[in-house]
């Protein structure tokens, strides 16, 4: 791919702006040599304004999403994209979230510009579990685990029962719930169906991928080994 197109696709600016940046010597190799429009340099050896280039196409990011942020590029208020560099919104292909977390849910959120990888994660065939830590308004009654695991639980206004879900009780108002599907506000609606209310909700893991070393509001680029943990 030509250097100008590569930089534009990474969101650094328009092709015209990138031509100007190259002419001004802002794009160099690691040795500090200014490049030309037709230069051929490996992605990892490129610098823009003395900084390494953003990850190439096929990137997967893991964010520890804080409360109060919406998984959208256009809604009003604070958006998860506000926590990323501005140019990430301009990447081509688009950097999309893999699934969503509502405004009042925190925790593990994936982004990618790799459509094949996105569909692999959300495909029912992959059966990737999502694990949620839940703080409840009232003490658990004791029968919730059996109800959630039955495969017969119905949510209001739906006609298909939920897949079996695993509930691990931490104490009377704290639990960990593992789901293999992602219906609208599913965790909150499940507990509402058994007469309780979710006060706090955090997604702590996607498959075998947890939030190790990712502080709230921050993100990291996943290595191949970390991506593989999703499917473990």
pLDDT in tens, 220-229: 999 999 999 9
Domain annotation covers residue 124: no
What is the domain range of residue 28? 3-52
pLDDT of amino acid 97: 97
Number of domains in the chain: 3
User: Do 147 and 186 belong to one domain?
Assistant: yes
Instruction: Please give the model's pTM, rounded to 2 decimal places.
Output: 0.94
**Catalytic status, residue 102:** yes
Q: What is the pLDDT of residue 76?
A: 86
- 34 located within any domain: yes
> What are the angstrom distances between the C-alpha of 77 and each of 67, 69, 132, 142?
12, 8, 25, 39
Q: Which residues contact 60 (CB under 8 A, 6 or more apart)?
A: 110, 111, 112, 114, 117, 221, 222, 227
pLDDT tier for residue 213 given thresholds of 50, 70 and 90: confident
Q: End of a domain among 36, 52, 68?
A: 52
Average pLDDT over every residue of 113-124: 96
Say whether both 153 and 190 belong to one domain. Answer: yes
Annotated catalytic residue: which of 45, 50, 54, 102? 102
Which residues, in sequence order, are bridge partners of residue 136?
Answer: 198
- Residue 158 shares a structural domain with residue 224: no
């Amino acid at each position: 791919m030509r250097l100008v197109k590569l930089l534009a696709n990474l969101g650094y600016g328009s092709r015209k702006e990138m031509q100007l940046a190259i002419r001004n010597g802002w794009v160099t190799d690691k040795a500090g040599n200014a490049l030309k429009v037709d230069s051929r340099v490996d992605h990892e050896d490129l610098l823009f304004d003395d900084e390494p280039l953003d990850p190439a196409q096929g990137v997967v990011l893991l964010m520890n999403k804080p409360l109060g942020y919406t998984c959208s590029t256009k809604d009003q208020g604070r958006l998860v994209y506000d926590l990323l560099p501005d140019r990430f919104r301009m990447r081509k292909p688009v950097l999309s979230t893999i699934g969503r977390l509502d405004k009042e849910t925190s925790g593990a959120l994936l982004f990618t510009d790799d459509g094949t990888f996105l569909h692999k994660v959300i495909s029912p065939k992959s059966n990737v579990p999502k694990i949620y830590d839940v703080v409840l308004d009232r003490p658990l009654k004791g029968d919730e685990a059996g109800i959630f695991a039955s495969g017969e639980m119905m949510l209001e206004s739906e006609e298909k029962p939920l897949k079996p879900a695993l509930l691990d009780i931490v104490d009377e108002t704290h639990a960990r719930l593992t789901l293999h599907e992602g219906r609208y506000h599913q965790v909150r609606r499940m507990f509402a169906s058994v007469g309780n209310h979710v006060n706090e909700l955090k997604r702590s893991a996607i498959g075998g991928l947890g939030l190790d070393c990712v502080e709230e509001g921050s993100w990291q680029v996943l290595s191949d080994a970390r991506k593989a943990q999703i499917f473990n």
